[in-house]
Every structure is written in C-alpha cells, then in structure tokens.
Amino acid sequence: MPILIPFFAWLAAVQVPSPASPMAAVKAAAILVSIAVGLCTLAGGSYAAGMRGAEIKHVKRNVDADLTRRREEFHQVVGRLERLELSLERARTGAVERRVAAERWQSRMDATIENVVVRLSRIEDQVMRLNQIEPADAREAA
C-alpha cells in the first residue's frame, strides 16, 4: 500500500482542471511534471535504498558463511598441528630413550671390553711369569 500513495497523489494532480489561460496551463503542466519527476525520483531512491539494503543483507550472509567456513578450516588446521606436535613429541621421546639405551649399552660394552683387556693383561703377565719360570726349571732339570 505505501508504494501506491505516490501514484494516487499523481493521479489526483492529473484530475485537477486546467486553467483557461494558456500561460497558466503551461505553468500548471510544469508544476505537474516537476511533481511527477520528484515522485519518480523518490520512488527510484527508495527502490535503490531497498536494493542496497538487500545487497548488504546478502553480503552479510555471504561473509557470515565464509567466516564460518574459515573458522572450521582453522580448527581443522589447528587439530592437525596438535596431532603433528604430539607425533613429534613421541618421536623425540622415543629418540631420547633410544639414545639413552644406546649409551647404556655402549657403557656396558666399554666395561666388558675393559674387563677383557684387564684379564688379557693378567693372562699375559701370568704367561710371562711362566715363561720366566720354565727356563729356570729347565736349567735345574738339565
């Protein structure tokens, strides 16, 4: 109904009888045309404002949808990063444990080799003493 109000105003203006003098008729026609142009401008402006409002609503809806989608993508990326961080932490922990185990094994092997070297030294010393004793025994026997 509000859209029809300018049309009824224009229609009422058209129904006004024209004056008898030609100059007054031109003046009345000019007034009528200016009123019609003003009403058309008002109608066009209100239509454009309505279109801008609809466009703004449409853009807002698109922005909201895009923002929601990007938030979901962000949460997915954060989730992947957290899983990657946990995986890297597990790998680092495993590497540290393997390094500690390797160092323990290496220290046990070093100790074992040192014990073998000490035993070999003792055996060599015993062999050297036995070699020194045998010639003396052989001299006594001869």
Res. 133 pLDDT band, cuts 50 70 90: confident
Nearest to 89 by CA among 77, 78, 97: 97
Q: What is the pLDDT of residue 37?
A: 82
Q: What percent of the chain has pLDDT over 70?
A: 77
Give a yes or no: residue 137 inside a domain: yes
Give a yes or no: residue 3 inside a domain: no
Res. 6 pLDDT band, cuts 50 70 90: low
Give a yes or no: residue 12 inside a domain: no
Nearest to 7 by CA among 36, 32, 31, 46: 36
Residues contacting 93, CB < 8 A, separation 6+: none
Give a yes or no: residue 40 inside a domain: yes
Compute the Cα dihedral for 89, 93, 95, 96 and give only its sign. Answer: positive
Asked if 25 contacts 19 with a C-beta cutoff of 8 angstroms, the reply is yes
**Number of domains, the chain:** 1
Q: Which residue has the higher pLDDT, 46 or 138?
A: 46
pLDDT tens, position by position, 27-62: 877 888 888 888 888 888 888 888 888 899 999 999
* Residue 72 domain boundaries: 31-141
Give a yes or no: residue 26 inside a domain: no
Give a yes or no: residue 126 inside a domain: yes
